[in-house]
Structure 1
Amino acid sequence: MAMNWKIDPTHSEIQFKVKHLMITTVTGYFKQFDLNVVTDTENFITAKNIEFTADINSIDTNNAQRDAHLKSADFFNAEEYGQLRFVGTKYETNGEDAKLYGELTVRGITKPIALTVEHGGIVVDPYGQTKAGFTVSGKISRKDFGLTWNAVTEAGSVVVSDEIKIHAEVQLVKQAELVNA
């Protein structure tokens, strides 16, 4: 019987990191996101129908001016492309190592990516809910997704790096099974 898992947003975070001036790293978060996963058992090796979305207007880098710039047409163009989307196509494990392959869509551009997954385990919380924990990480080229804005300093340094690091702490909650009436 298929099991549906939904993200617990209060115990999950989705972040990205990018080099600024090639000397420091700026961290940003998506504050509004959704993730659904279907498995055949509580073993996530059977994961399928993995669908993640993040609301571009929920970007938070702890700087309102920078957030507005990221939402503008220079970067994500939130007015036209309100969400980014990831659809998992394959989840494979090799001992402790796991990879999640899928298609990431940003600004209407879809590219294949691979993410590293660490499964933290499955537990039943004090309220009787079955929860599964994961750490997900990866890297993408922002230019692959049409995020090409940049500037150069007087000394010739790039303002924003091409490489974006993705890091997510994800807690999934097993949903109640539906009984056919």
Structure 2
Amino acid sequence: MARTAMATLIGLASLTATAQAAEYKIDPAHTNAIFRIKHINTSYLVGRFNTVEGTFNYDSAAPQNASIQVTIPVDSLDTNFAERNKHLKSPDFFSARQYPNINFKSTQYEGDANKGTLTGQLTLHGVTQTIEIPVEKVGEGKDPWGGYRAGFHGEVTIKRTDYGMDKMLGAGSDEVQLVLDIEGIRQ
């Protein structure tokens, strides 16, 4: 009986340790920020940002306390075509010299430990707007190197004009689909 009680206590202690809120550092090698926009209403242009930095807090026992802060350097934009990358970073689109970073900071999470809506402030092109991102947990667990990771997926559509990016609307749609796959390493 004593052995069973001890085993139960050890098991509960390990579950509690796993469920406690923890800070995760975003792993840029396993994180993706992809965008998709219509090109002259004939096809889609797909690109990505090669650098995504930030942290998030996550506790599966209290998901309402989840938070994330992300910085994406605009200069890391990549569409697999150097001239287009240069044009997208120009004042016609992102104005990368004037606005070098895209920032997101969450303000609220509603949902359970696996799926919900993340609300926060997206700053793009010098303009800050509140957005809601439907998110889902992809998974969490120990990695082969002794660390602990958690990963999340979210997709949202924003309008360029909401962020003052109103040039060249004929060449590209106003709506931009963003796909975010975030993996973090518990600190």
Tell me which interval the TM-score lies in, with the shorter structure as reference length.
Answer: 0.7 to 0.9
Structure 1 match to 2:165 = 147
> How many Å apart are 1:17 and its aligned residue?
0.5
Identity fraction in percent: 33
Moved more, 62-71 or 92-101: 92-101
Q: Which structure carries more helix by proportion?
A: 2
Over the aligned positions, Cα root-mean-square deviation in angstroms equals 1.8
Matched AA of 1:173: I
**1:69 corresponds to 2:87:** yes
Secondary structure of the equivalent of 2:130?
strand
Matched AA of 1:172: G
Is the 1:37–1:47 contact (alpha carbons within 8 Å) kept by the matching residues of 2? no
> How many Å apart are 1:47 and its aligned residue?
3.9
> How many Å apart are 1:49 and its aligned residue?
4.4
TM-score (normalizing by structure 1): 0.86
> How many Å apart are 1:48 and its aligned residue?
4.2
Matched AA of 1:4: E
Runs of 4+ aligned structure 1 residues displaced above 6 Å come to none
Q: Where do residues 98-177 of structure 1 align in structure 2 (5 Å cutoff)?
A: 98-150=116-168, 158-175=170-187
Matched AA of 1:166: L
What do the CA deviations read for 1:11-56 (whole angstroms, capped 9, x no partner)?
11111110001121111111112121124x3546144442111000
Choose 1 or 2 for highest CA Rg.
2
Q: Give structure 1 stretches of 5+ with no counterpart.
A: 152-157, 176-181
Is the 1:48–1:89 contact (alpha carbons within 8 Å) kept by the matching residues of 2? no
User: Compared with structure 1, are the counterparts of its residues 78 and 95 closer, same or farther at alpha carbon in structure 2 (3 Å cutoff)?
Assistant: closer
TM-score (normalizing by structure 2): 0.84
Q: Give structure 2 stretches of 5+ with no counterpart.
A: 1-19
Is the 1:115–1:137 contact (alpha carbons within 8 Å) kept by the matching residues of 2? yes
> How many Å separate the matches in 2 of 1:46 and 1:10?
27
